[in-house]
Structure 1
Amino acid sequence: MTVALMWEARALPGRGAELLAWARRQELPAAPLRRETLRAPQDRVLVLTWWDADLDADLPELPEPDADLVTRAVHRWRFESVSVD
């Protein structure tokens, strides 16, 4: 089974580039099948990682950035892949 973990944070206004750089520097203790980092308006950063694991497996995730960099706590979601087109 393939599990996708989504990590999304919103930087304080004008600090999106700093949050993006911070997220890209974060190393995980194990390598995912794939890792993709995206950015969006309103200084948002999204990191997707794909794992060969069960949906409820204990998987490494990116940490919370320092509170002085973000507007709120990180949002995290976990999905099971059902198809690839």
Structure 2
Amino acid sequence: MGVRLHHEVSLAGTDEGSVLLDQRSGEYWQLNGSAATALRMLLDGAGEHEVAAALVADSPPGDVGLDEALRDVRELTAQLAAARLAVRS
């Protein structure tokens, strides 16, 4: 299941990750590197399990497990949906 941004939300990369701008309210949302990677993969149509596996592979060995990464991806999508920045597609 992928994600799409609300049509009035823009995404820009930064040195530390990404920033979302909600043009309706003028609010900025900063994403760290892992969240930015997860969001970009979801926007490209990757599923939650695929994103979680990629995050684990990109982390130092033993730093994060698949279950934790999957919870983080699901929490990210839930927070973006609750803030009306994105919807699951």
TM-score, normalised to structure 2, is 0.32
Which has the larger share of helix? 2
Structure with more relative contact order (C-alpha pairs < 8 Å, separation 6 or more):
1
TM-score, normalised to structure 1, is 0.32
